[in-house]
Amino acid sequence: MNPALQAVITIAIGVGGCIGYFYLANLILDKVLCPARGPNIGRNINRANMIRPWLFLFPAIFALGLYLAYPVVETIRLSLTHRLPGGGYEWAGLSNYRQMMHEPKFWEAMRNNMLWLIVVPAAATAFGLLAAQLTDRIRWGSLAKSLIFMPMAISFVGAAVIWKLVYDARPAGSEQIGILNAVYMALGGDTPQQWLTVPFWNNFFLMIVLIWIQTGFAMVILSAALRGIPDETVEAAIVDGANPFQIFFRIKVPQIRNTIVVVWTTITILVLKIFDIVFAMTNGQWETQVLANYMYDKLFRANDWGVGSASAMVIMILVLPILVWNVRNARREMR
């Protein structure tokens, strides 16, 4: 069958089924289960109103439970078991975790993830803040913002291709087609570098890709926050003779501290799960392994579900503090 036609049909079924559920479920509730007529009309309407929220919520609760809550429990279980060759599982205690702790690749992934965790949120937030502050003051600022924001729309894989061309290296003596090596040679470098294979530093070349993508996000949010600062505070500082740097660091930044924290944590969560960029650019070679890619290796290449699940749990544990903090914030807001 023509793929386009197939796509259209499958789309119609998927979306139609969804609309059908809500429409029919309401119809049945109102017309069959608790009809708003007859002797019990009052009781029926009350009953329908009690049932309806759950009717509206059911698909969401079902999907959330099945696709996010259940996997957490199941992953904990898998991380504590061994898979037996014929099928079935045996209790393994913490041996998967112990095995993982003894693998140098795991510690390499941990170290790199920590590096990512420190560098990427800090750099993206700093660049974002800089871009937000600078573009807010000039006439073509919104155009500049659009262009800095644009990488947000590009997939990690697309970004990987884009940056591989930047980092491309040709043998010494021939013309460089990667712009980084071209600049490096023009500045007097001796031989073209294979940037992605230089241990330790190659991590930073991978991080640049994510910083490049996330700066726009930070900029958009911080720029809105900067615009929300009351003018009086800035005016007062100017009257007191503060210079632009003092105004920025002493007046503006403290007032948007909460927003900075939100941006920082949002990027932190993203960094903890970073997979595509490493997978597409180095696949964890040359000491660039990260947790998510380590996990993918274990699950789908080594087929070791126990250790794979254990490493997924490590990611979950690292996310946990942010999760708790978010929930507490949300609850405080609702009161």
Judge whether 272 and 117 are in contact, CB under 8 Å: yes
The correct pick among 184, 214, 308, 310 for binding another protein (CB under 8 A) is 308
The correct pick among 126, 234, 251, 253 for binding another protein (CB under 8 A) is 234
Judge whether 145 and 135 are in contact, CB under 8 Å: yes
Residue 120 binds another protein (CB under 8 A): no
Closest distance of CB 107 from another protein, Å:
19
Tell me the C-alpha distance between 295 and 315, whole Å.
10
Tokens (6 digits) for 134? 């600078």
DSSP state of 205: H
Residue 33 binds another protein (CB under 8 A): no
Residue 163 binds another protein (CB under 8 A): yes
Residue 157 binds another protein (CB under 8 A): yes
For another protein, what does the binding mask look like between residues 40 and 59, x meaning CB under 8 A? ---------xx-xxx-xx-x
Choose between 6 and 40: whose C-beta lies nearer to another protein. Answer: 6
- Backbone φ and ψ of 155, nearest 5°: -65, 155
How many residues bind another protein (CB under 8 A)? The answer is 120
Segment interacting with another protein, rule: CB under 8 A, options 85-93, 100-108, 115-123, 259-267: 259-267
The correct pick among 70, 107, 200, 249 for binding another protein (CB under 8 A) is 70
Closest distance of CB 61 from another protein, Å:
8
Helix H segments across the chain? 3-28, 41-64, 70-79, 95-101, 104-135, 141-149, 156-167, 179-186, 201-227, 231-239, 244-246, 253-255, 257-272, 276-281, 291-296, 305-334
Residue 75 binds another protein (CB under 8 A): yes
Residues in the chain: 335
DSSP state of 243: -
Residue 285 binds another protein (CB under 8 A): no
Residue 322 binds another protein (CB under 8 A): yes
Residue 153 binds another protein (CB under 8 A): yes
The secondary element (H helix, E strand) that includes residue 38 is none
